[in-house]
Structure 1
């Protein structure tokens, strides 16, 4: 009777994501001596994972004297949800050797998802091979996970081979393949499959619409959304709204974004967290920062995406002090920043010349939050130093960074050399950039100007020949305004 009570309470905690209550229940379970009574250990593991308490979940898992397939599926799922797929894969040998268990269909699906998150083709193929040799080789969930894994690893044809191997295809498999083709930019294949899908419901529509939006075909995504609405598809899930709002943001079509916002309100989805996050991002990208702030201010619950969206939004509109103030509020609210948060913050510092603050944030990202800087972080920090005239420090950074600088990174430093009239460093950077055989026409124009300014006409000629091979033509600038329904 007591076990049933605790099971019910733990299920509530998992469903509603109430970590504090879950910990109190765990303490009560230990006090009553029920902590090893099945199925309470697995239920505790599940609730810790769903409440994003990964360390507690790992501790619970390590302390379990008897681990079964449910235990393994729970901990691997928790690690994937915490964006730690590398740990999921590293634990497989322990399952095989220490616990003497072969992966079941749930574990195989979770491992395939981890490979997808890591873009790890070789381990993914090993999971696929293990699946084919297992008693679960007809399992729909694993097949769908493998399709998704191959697509995310850039192998849509391998995904199609898995899809074609399924004798009795369910809707999940169809949706995974349609989404895979759309996300890979294979529009014709996605449309062809969509026409053949047995059930054209909201989820099959969303697979195509969201996939197209993610692959840069936002116009097609919006047209399909309008077509879906005309067909009267029941909007039982708000995910497709989020995709369409995202398409509006990338197209910077404010009127369309406002219409989708109105639709979200009429359907009762405005308070949905990921819809609100998408709206903040959309209004910011459409230059309506007041509306972005209004949506953000009305949110009852905010996660790291919410805070990051508004921070990046105000930073891109030149409101550096506001972005930094929002960051302080975010930390005070107990929300841990992510990689994108720091890109926005360093970008904000760059555009108002807050060098000391930018240095502090770059250091804090590494030391306080354990985030390894990406090339984008280095480029933003380099831009901050370069714009502010700290060219020697910028050059030292670009030469010492553990990641190989790409063409835009070197071009940013070269542009700063030109702006600050540092001819000696400019020639040095230009020579290195020229050796990389630049592909961006604007980089070539910048190189030509640097060499011309230093009267290095032979190198100017070399760059001009490179531009001729590339058939570089300066694109004329233009602007566009909307008036009513015309633009």
Structure 2
């Protein structure tokens, strides 16, 4: 284009956001000043803040906020709603509330953003109080509250609020709230309520939705109904890495090591790239089935073939595999040389293996290491006994 105006810039920035490419939104923004000599208007401010919220780019978000305060659009309530959303998603609900209180005409968007910010930050009382004063409760405000409560660990409260939402007759025209409730059932391992929610999913016509099906597979697997999880999984028309990983981890947790490994082979053949959680499930399966050589191969493939840098949790899982199978010296070498500082679960896993295989000399060394930490898990004291 030989000439670009504010509409041109707002359009391309919005397009990048809709395409889930917020990095692109941020990276091209400065050309608006340097090339076209344009200052952002209220549409551009709102679009850029949405990108900052998606990236949790707090520093950039604050810079945009400062520019907005000095701009002619300082009283624009749409931009203020975007600021509320950005600060809430960046974990600063108190600043979000300050901006929220400055909005003259609060829309459902600003109410929903503030509710979500409180709930996701674990501020349950503040979220419930704000929700009770909301002028209107629509599906999106209910979803913000329920999803936020579940994400911050208040799964029981999330389920109760969902029941209350159903009593009020709110039409479920968007499936996101259902996936949150299924996730709560998964975390609580409440199979009965999970099945009722599954029935509601079917009745609402959302069973073919990928993220709903993934949540159901995970829920049934965690609730020990691996057959139901398998039935849903094989009925899915499309499966992504979350689908495969949920089944692999579910099979591993139920002692079905061969099934987990077979699912991994099918996953690779289907062209789906595994992630770190996939390998945690696979190595866990190998650990409990005593498949040491297979576990070593998977650990090597993860690093060399898929370029995944193992986290401390994955190292601990691999450590447990070596320890359970009696390779205590190799396990001790690993815990000393891994690029992470060993934590309580790492040392406890190795100490448990020492006790199991009767290596008291190494066990005393590991126990000394554990006692130097600030212990939190009751099971660790049992292992130290």
Fold shared per TM-score above 0.5? yes
Q: Indicate the residue corresponding to 1:113 in structure 2.
A: 53
Deviation at 1:89, TM superposition (A): 6.0
Distance 2:168 2:378 in 1: 45
Residue 438 of structure 1 pairs with residue 359 of structure 2: no
Please tell me whether Structure 1 or Structure 2 has the larger radius of gyration of its CA atoms. Answer: 1
1:301 to 228, 231, 238: 238
Equivalent position SS for 1:219: helix
Distance 2:62 2:363 in 1: 47
1:311 to 242, 245, 248: 248
Equivalent position SS for 1:232: coil
Distance 1:368 1:95 in 2: 41
Query: Residues 422-477 of structure 1, C-alpha deviation per residue, up to 9 Å, x if partnerless?
Result: 22222222222212232333323433x2xxxxxxxxxxxxxxxxxxxxxxxxxxxx
Residue 247 of structure 1 pairs with residue 184 of structure 2: yes
Equivalent position SS for 1:421: coil
1:176 to 77, 99, 113: 113
Q: Which moved further from structure 2: 321-330 or 106-115?
A: 106-115
**Structure 1 gap segments, 5+ residues each:** 1-35, 40-66, 450-487
Q: Indicate the residue corresponding to 2:335 in structure 1.
A: 398
Residue 162 of structure 1 pairs with residue 99 of structure 2: yes
Deviation at 1:132, TM superposition (A): 3.2
User: Is 1:105–1:136's contact at 8 Å kept on the other side of the alignment?
Assistant: no
Query: Residues 377-407 of structure 1, C-alpha deviation per residue, up to 9 Å, x if partnerless?
Result: 1111111111112222222222222222221
Deviation at 1:105, TM superposition (A): 2.3
Cα pair distance change 1:191/1:430, threshold 3 Å = same
User: Is 1:175–1:207's contact at 8 Å kept on the other side of the alignment?
Assistant: yes
Q: Indicate the residue corresponding to 2:212 in structure 1.
A: 275
Distance 1:232 1:326 in 2: 41
Distance 1:145 1:167 in 2: 14
User: Is 1:77–1:110's contact at 8 Å kept on the other side of the alignment?
Assistant: no
User: Is 1:213–1:247's contact at 8 Å kept on the other side of the alignment?
Assistant: yes
User: Is 2:84–2:113's contact at 8 Å kept on the other side of the alignment?
Assistant: yes
Q: Indicate the residue corresponding to 1:205 in structure 2.
A: 142
Number of residue pairs aligned between Structure 1 and Structure 2: 379
Q: How does 1:437-456 map to 2 (within 5 A)?
A: 437-447=374-384, 449=385
Deviation at 1:275, TM superposition (A): 1.3
CA RMSD between the two structures: 2.8
Query: Residues 290-333 of structure 1, C-alpha deviation per residue, up to 9 Å, x if partnerless?
Result: 00000111111212211111111111111111111111111211
Residue 237 of structure 1 pairs with residue 152 of structure 2: no
Distance 2:111 2:280 in 1: 37
Residue 128 of structure 1 pairs with residue 68 of structure 2: no
User: Is 2:87–2:96's contact at 8 Å kept on the other side of the alignment?
Assistant: yes
Cα pair distance change 1:349/1:144, threshold 3 Å = farther
Q: Which moved further from structure 2: 120-129 or 354-363?
A: 120-129
2:274 to 328, 337, 342: 337
Query: Residues 172-211 of structure 1, C-alpha deviation per residue, up to 9 Å, x if partnerless?
Result: 1111111121122211111111112122111111111111
Q: Answer 1 or 2: higher relative contact order, Cα 8 Å, separation at least 6.
A: 2
User: Is 1:346–1:361's contact at 8 Å kept on the other side of the alignment?
Assistant: yes
Cα pair distance change 1:413/1:229, threshold 3 Å = same
User: Is 2:217–2:246's contact at 8 Å kept on the other side of the alignment?
Assistant: yes
Query: Residues 188-237 of structure 1, C-alpha deviation per residue, up to 9 Å, x if partnerless?
Result: 11111111212211111111111111122121111111111111111111
User: Is 2:52–2:58's contact at 8 Å kept on the other side of the alignment?
Assistant: no
Distance 1:294 1:169 in 2: 46
1:228 to 151, 158, 165: 165
Residue 288 of structure 1 pairs with residue 225 of structure 2: yes
2:350 to 404, 410, 413: 413
User: Is 1:410–1:433's contact at 8 Å kept on the other side of the alignment?
Assistant: yes
Deviation at 1:153, TM superposition (A): 3.7
TM-score with structure 1 length normalisation?
0.71
TM-score with structure 2 length normalisation?
0.88
